[in-house]
Amino acid sequence: MKDSASIRKRLDEIKMMSDMPKALSALADLQFEIGMSACAERKILQNEIEGLRRVITGNGKPELSLVTRVRDVETCVTAIKSDLTEIKLALLGDMRGNRGVLGRVKDNEKHVENMVKVMWIVVGAVVVQIVAAVLGLL
């Protein structure tokens, strides 16, 4: 008797009965059915609550409780946040003048470009020396 519409229909039928003993009997039957249905629903709710309690409390094992698991996640997130901050500082540097890896890589790229220019100057000078020697200018 979980459906309120069917309960309402049965109550209306009972109200229309002219025989009082039959009406009382029908009303008692209806109340009994509602009570039995409520008991079944309470049992289902009790089982669900018990399952939730096991999950939340860890079923006698505190290390498996939801609170402990959330605390462990918070600890991990805090550690990861700290590590990420260190990585960020290492890559980008900080406001105190410490240059990060990215700044150092850019500096090295500039040095490499300058070294390439110097190399071409040296190669050009050697080529000029060779051409001058071949032409007998020296």
List the domain boundaries for the chain.
Answer: 1-57, 61-98, 101-138
Helix axis angle for 4-16 and 20-57, nearest 10°, is 160
60 pLDDT tier (thresholds 50, 70, 90): confident
pLDDT for residue 117 is more than 90: yes
pLDDT score recorded for residue 2: 65
3-state helix, strand, coil in the chain (%, to 5): 85, 0, 15
Query: In whole angstroms, what is the distance from residue 124 CA to residue 90 CA?
Result: 40
97 pLDDT tier (thresholds 50, 70, 90): low
With beta carbons less than 8 A apart as the criterion, state whether 30 and 10 touch: yes
Which residues have CB under 8 Å from 10's CB, separation 6+? 26, 30
pLDDT for residue 1 is more than 60: no
What are the Cα distances from residue 26, in Å, to 7, 9, 39, 110?
Answer: 12, 12, 20, 97
Query: In whole angstroms, what is the distance from residue 23 CA to residue 6 CA?
Result: 17
Is this prediction's pTM over 0.85?
no
